[in-house]
Chain A
Amino acid sequence: MKKREKLKNVQLLILSTLIALIICFPIFYILYISIEPPSKVFSYPPQFSLSELTFNNFVEVFNLTPFLRFIVNSLIVAIISCLLQVIFACTAAFAFTFYNYKVKDILFLIVLATIMIPAQTIFIGNYLIIRSLGFLNTYIALILPNAVSAFGIFFIRQYFKTIPVEFFEAAKIEGCSNINYLVKILIPLSKPAIGSFLIYSFINIWNQYMWPLLVTDKDEVRTVQLGISMLQAAEQQNFGLIAAGVIIVILPTFLIFLLGHNQLVKGLMAGALKG
């Protein structure tokens, strides 16, 4: 019986390793292409050797294209949008949890109703509005439509609800104002939830493709996702360069993935509830 158990474990291990190799292969292959000397990219059948590796493609990406600009743009957009999402999620969730107005339930329902309207169904309306406000090709166009996340409000509210109301009452008796309570006590207590949400929302905004495509057509404001697709369109046969671009673009999200795997998974699972 024990022998059979052991055999089963070894079989499973081999199977798991094979599948893991298949899943991870595309990325390792792209990484390899990005550091392979250009003369070898077109060799068919493909040759693999670890001598003569070069980082030239990474240098070239920055020299030939405004990639640095794209990265800076993406960072500006993602960081500001993320912070706004967290701030507004905390303030709205606080209002929906600790104030006793009947109207707050209706307001909360209105927020949740936005989940029923996916961005992919209103992008033309959104584009027309942004254009009529004169925001095309500005950071505003990239940030403001991302500044509120209904899921974020929902998620943070759920967490606030787990914190005993007695804390709030005690703080009030001590003369602590509501806003002070939110900033000094509630937010520090909610760090795990805010962390998960922050990671989730940063990755979402960093990875956005369609919206930046619609509202920008100048390199000064374009984001990295557009940057790599432009690179792919312009340098069709220069695979090393494209591969280097891809590696640069996935680096931040990959680091987050490695360092905050648990939180990312938590955020994803909660995020999927929004549909």
Chain B
Amino acid sequence: MEYVYEQKITTVKKRKKPPKEILEFIILVLPTFLLITLFTFFPFFKTLYTSFWATDFSGNPKRFVGITYYVELLNSQDFINSFIVTLKYVGFNTIFSIIGGLILALIVDNSKIFAKLFNVLYTFPISLSSASCAIVWGILLNPSVSIINYLIERMGLGKIEWLTDPKLALLSIVLINCWQNIPFNFIFLLAGLQNIPYELYEVSNIDGANFLYKVWKIILPLLTPTLFFVLVINIIDSFQQFTIVHILTSGGPVNSTKLLVYSIYQDAFFNFKFGRACAESIVLFVILFILTVFQFKVVEKKVFYQ
């Protein structure tokens, strides 16, 4: 009886809240909700909606076509190529930049001299935008003045056609992106390493274990949560690459660097197939959605609440 009575009091109290406060609350959250509705949810539904329509050249829906575009994508050589190129890019990019980041993190973590300085120097490339990164590397790899090619030739190897050889172009894009991505991973992995209790290092030192053994048997297992987390954000990030490809290769040579986002951009703004481009966007969305949910559910729990 008493319990019910108490409940009544609290509900009465709640109702009595001054209307001014409710108004305040609404004013505080209203701009945020207007903006995310207009520029996130609405565009999402617009993209989904348009993917079921044949459009005119400027993207206005003209004729309902159902899932035609989705079926078309499954049979489109072009889309399958983009998808495979993207998977390769994601794979190489993730592996190289995690290994690179890990090596840098291990070095700084073990350094006793100037560790702080190296910490700053190693993260230097994160202050560049993707666009300037692409242009810087465009000059470094340019066939006529490339200083990198000069050094390679001096070592007795032939001239390398970094961005114009269909077999190398994607790898070049990966390397360019890694230059920016390795420092980023380095930051996370170093934080992860510094969380490993010092005693564990000490124990392995006494045992006289060599460094690689120590990394393999002690450090990596303890670092797994961080590595896993870095892995997922790298994959999510790689799927969204656009800038470097747009500036340096425009998807070429022979579509060898035509990543998904670039393919969407081209289908919409050059081929004027807005419906098809929207269908591609939704496919990309589904992939990223699954990865993000995975990140939230599994990875974050493991990393931060272990």
Contact = CB atoms under 8 A, between A and B. Distances in A.
A241 B123 CA distance: 26
Contact of B147 (A42, A46, A209, A268): A46
A209 B135 CA distance: 13
Interface size of A as a range? 35 or more
* Majority secondary structure of chain A interface residues (helix, strand, loop or mixed): helix
A46 B30 CA distance: 59
A88 B129 contact: no
Interface stretch (A59-67, A159-167, A186-194, A251-259): A251-259
Interface string B110-145: 111110001011111111111110111111101011
Interface stretch (B73-81, B88-96, B184-192): B184-192
A114 B50 CA distance: 20
Nearest to B286: A121
A46 B145 contact: yes
A142 to B, nearest CB: 12
A222 B89 CA distance: 30
Interface string B139-182: 11010110100100000000000000000000000000001000
A27 interface: yes
B198 to A, nearest CB: 16
A70 B43 CA distance: 27
A170 to B, nearest CB: 18
A12 interface: yes
A16 B106 CA distance: 11
Interface string A101-140: 1001001001100111110111111111101000000000
B230 to A, nearest CB: 9
B199 interface: no
A128 B122 CA distance: 41
Contacts, number: 256
B32 A126 contact: no
Contact of A232 (B126, B135, B281, B289): B135
Given A24-B124, A243-B139, A148 B233 contact: no
B25 interface: yes
B35 interface: yes
* Majority secondary structure of chain B interface residues (helix, strand, loop or mixed): helix
A125 B131 contact: no
Contact of A42 (B123, B136, B144, B268): B144
Residue in A124, A239, A254, A273 whose Cβ sees the most chain B Cβ within 10 Å: A124
Contact of B123 (A26, A95, A256, A261): A261
A225 B140 CA distance: 19
Nearest to A103: B25
Contact of B295 (A29, A124, A275): A275
Nearest to B243: A209
B47 A121 contact: yes
A242 B40 CA distance: 35
Interface string B26-63: 00110111011011111111111010000000010000
Interface of A: 9, 12-13, 15-16, 19-20, 23-24, 26-27, 29-30, 33, 41-42, 44-46, 88, 91-92, 94-96, 99, 101, 104, 107, 110-111, 114-118, 120-129, 131, 144-145, 147-148, 150, 153, 178-179, 203, 206-207, 209-210, 213-214, 225-226, 228-229, 232, 237, 239, 242-243, 245-246, 249-250, 253-254, 256-257, 261, 264-265, 268-269, 272-273, 275
20 contacts: A16-B107, A16-B111, A23-B125, A26-B136, A27-B125, A114-B40, A115-B292, A118-B288, A121-B282, A123-B281, A125-B42, A125-B50, A144-B39, A148-B39, A207-B130, A232-B135, A232-B138, A253-B127, A264-B126, A275-B236
